[in-house]
């Protein structure tokens, strides 16, 4: 169906590389864009702008337009640093307003099956930051997947002799949720991790 337009084939090919987009959705998106030239131009400009302006912060490796990023430059608590897997995790924690320290983005988690070992993450940079600063506490906020946990264990071992406090984000039952709808794994963790009131 696309064989008579090379550029359309190429667009579909590019769209298909996006997560969650298959051949069918890629075609639908491509034809949708074709029907509205204004959208095509706006999208192309947005993509270009992102490409030329957004980069990784050279300190914390979160996404930013100015380097260092606003959080690294801002008036934040320098003694505590929160280690996350991906830039979007920074956004999630910032939305909560619960954390006033700084961040460090690992850009992934340990996963030998995906070829990811410590050298593939921003771990050396984290070690250097902690060694050369007034950081007193490292909060490990990787996900609670087995890979996130293994990464947390690895980091904990790394900082054992660094004189910093290492903590792990608590996890449990979402606020406002009915206990009867909590899956049993979450429930078991919540019961194990219960705290004094």
Q: Does residue 69 belong to the site contacting Zn ion (CB under 5 A)?
A: yes
Q: Does residue 56 belong to the site contacting another protein (CB under 8 A)?
A: no
Q: Does residue 36 belong to the site contacting another protein (CB under 8 A)?
A: no
Q: Does residue 174 belong to the site contacting another protein (CB under 8 A)?
A: no
Q: Does residue 183 belong to the site contacting another protein (CB under 8 A)?
A: yes
CB-nearer residue toward another protein: 9 or 111: 111
Q: Which one of residues 18, 47, 70, 146 is an interface residue with another protein (CB under 8 A)?
A: 146
Q: Does residue 153 belong to the site contacting another protein (CB under 8 A)?
A: yes
Q: Which one of residues 30, 57, 130, 135 is an interface residue with Zn ion (CB under 5 A)?
A: 57
User: What is the C-alpha to C-alpha distance for residues 94 and 84, in angstroms, rounded to an integer?
Assistant: 12
Per CB under 8 A, the segment of 64-72, 89-97, 133-141, 181-189 that binds another protein is 181-189
Q: Which one of residues 26, 59, 83, 106 is an interface residue with Zn ion (CB under 5 A)?
A: 59
User: What is the C-alpha to C-alpha distance for residues 148 and 154, in angstroms, rounded to an integer?
Assistant: 10
The site that binds another protein (CB under 8 A) totals a number of residues, namely 20
What residues make contact with another protein under the rule CB under 8 A?
Answer: 110-113, 117-119, 146-147, 149-151, 153-154, 157, 183-185, 187-188
What residues make contact with Zn ion under the rule CB under 5 A?
Answer: 57, 59-60, 68-69, 72
């Amino acid at each position: 169906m696309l064989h008579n337009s090379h550029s359309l084939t190429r667009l579909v090919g590019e769209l298909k590389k996006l997560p969650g987009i298959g051949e069918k959705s890629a075609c639908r998106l491509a034809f949708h864009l074709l029907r509205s030239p204004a959208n095509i131009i706006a999208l192309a400009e947005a993509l270009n702008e992102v490409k030329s302006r957004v980069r990784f912060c050279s300190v914390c490796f979160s996404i930013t337009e100015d380097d260092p990023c606003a959080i690294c430059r801002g008036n934040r608590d320098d003694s505590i640093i929160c280690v996350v897997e991906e830039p979007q995790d920074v956004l999630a924690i910032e939305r909560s307003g619960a954390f006033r320290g700084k961040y460090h983005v690992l850009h992934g988690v340990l996963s030998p099956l995906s070829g990811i070992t410590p050298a593939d993450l921003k771990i050396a940079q984290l070690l250097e930051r902690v060694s050369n600063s007034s950081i007193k506490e490292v909060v490990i906020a990787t996900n609670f997947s087995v890979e996130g946990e293994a990464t947390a264990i690895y980091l904990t071992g790394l900082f054992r002799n660094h004189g910093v406090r290492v903590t792990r984000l608590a996890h449990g039952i979402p606020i406002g949720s009915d206990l009867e709808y909590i899956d049993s794994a979450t429930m078991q963790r919540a019961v194990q991790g219960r705290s004094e009131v």
